[in-house]
Structure 1
Amino acid sequence: MVIARGLGVDATLALAERAWDAGVALVEVPIQTAADVAALTALAERAAERGLAVGAGTVVEADQVALARDAGATFTVSPGCDDDVVTASLDAGLPTLPGVATATDVHRARRHGLRWLKAFPASVLGPEWPRALHGPFPDARFVATGGITAENALAFLEGGARAVAVGSGLAGERALGALAALGGAEVR
């Protein structure tokens, strides 16, 4: 997944088009400002033309869920596992990817019926963290997020993450292609 943080409408659309053309299907737009919501709205319209999903990220308050839904988001992403945000997302019919960093966080997310979880901040947790949490939670599916780059993404996939999400690590023209190439790898 590609994270388009604070880029504005035009740069968000350009990054998403490059990601989609490279084979990366999911794009997240963190919604921290009105400009971010405008970028999400424009991206959701473009994604709908391709039949693709777009997420609203950095959803930290339950009232942001309606904003995300109204902007066209088809899922939400949060840095933590806030019960109110999770409930609001599910009540709005939006799948949600809450951030987890501890076994307690994973357990809380599972009580909501969630299995896909954002391992955050992945660079601090380390590449082996997902595999360690698979012991007590074998059905958890982790998306490593935070500090992921083209250089370390494979280590996280080999360490048990099912996917990676990359934002600032996309600097450089070859980074997106290198990450997209990992999408074809069957790493467990």
Structure 2
Amino acid sequence: MSDFFEEMTSRAPVVVILRRESPDRTVELCHLAWDLGVRLVEVPIASASAVPALQAATAAATARGELVGAGSIHSVDQFRVAVDAGAAFTVAAATDREIIALAASDGIPHLPGVGTATDVATALAGGCNFLKAFPASLLTPDWIRAMRGPFPSAKFVATGGVDAGNALAFLEAGCSAVAFGSSFAAPATAAVISALVGHPS
């Protein structure tokens, strides 16, 4: 399943996270992300009220030939809801062995969250090489460099507090991708994403 993230981030080392938006606004932002060359768009479903936005996004993705994933997947029920809504991949803020195993058995690419060496080791043991470094702004690019030493097969997606000002620093530290959440709406972000698409990671 890591091959999925490998392919998608090699084309564009960027993830866009669309949280707490209306279904219509989510679709609008999806198209903006796709127009910029972003291939990985995530809609978190921490609450049931976010599921309509995910459903709208996956419908728009299907019509356009794109893919949308679901974030904040921390239970089996959430995983099932995400898959039923058409999510092509799932993302979590934590490393949960049960979710990792479930995603693997269902053939759904999963991006677990890591914040410690133990998390990284656990996720790798479960077959996940692509890992969500969260919260990246607190972990810092130096943490990425430090983890790449003992875990050379780990590929990190810096998430949480990433913006136009620090995205390149995370890529230069060895991240395979960076994720823009609330900062996606910032005026400077579109230019940075355009510059990062195709950036060697």
Superposition TM-score, scaled by structure 2 size: 0.89
Specify the code of the residue in structure 2 equivalent to 1:154. L
Measured after TM superposition, the shift of residue 35 of structure 1 is: 3.0
* 2:56 is aligned with 1:35: no
Deviation string, structure 1 residues 39-85 (Cα, Å, up to 9, x no partner):
11111111112222211001111221110000000111000001112
Identity %: 50
Q: Which amino acid aligns with 1:41?
A: Q
- Alpha-carbon distance between aligned partners in 2 of 1:55 and 1:180, rounded to the nearest angstrom: 21
- Count the aligned residue pairs: 187
Counterpart CA distance in 1 for 2:101 and 2:22 is 29
Q: Any residues of structure 2 matched to 1:1-188 within 5 Å, and which?
A: 1-187=15-201
Cα deviation, 1:97-123, whole Å, max 9, x if unaligned, reads 000011110110011111000000000
Moved more, 49-58 or 5-14: 49-58
- RMSD, aligned CA: 1.2
How far apart in 1 are the matches of 2:184 and 2:151? 31
**Gapped regions of structure 2 (runs ≥ 5):** 1-14
Distance in 2 between residues matched to 1:57 and 1:173, nearest whole Å = 24
Quote the offset at 1:14 in angstroms: 0.7
- Provide the TM-score with structure 1 as the length reference: 0.95
Deviations 1:134-170 (A, max 9, x none): 1111111100000000111000000111100110112
Deviation beyond 4 Å, 4+ runs, structure 1? none
- Alpha-carbon distance in structure 2 between the residues aligned to 1:105 and 1:84: 14
* 8 Å Cα contact 2:129/2:154 also seen in 1: yes
Structure-2 separation of matches of 1:185 and 1:33: 34
Structure 1 residues 100-109 or 50-59, which shifts more? 50-59
Cα contact 1:5–1:29 (8 A) shared by 2: yes
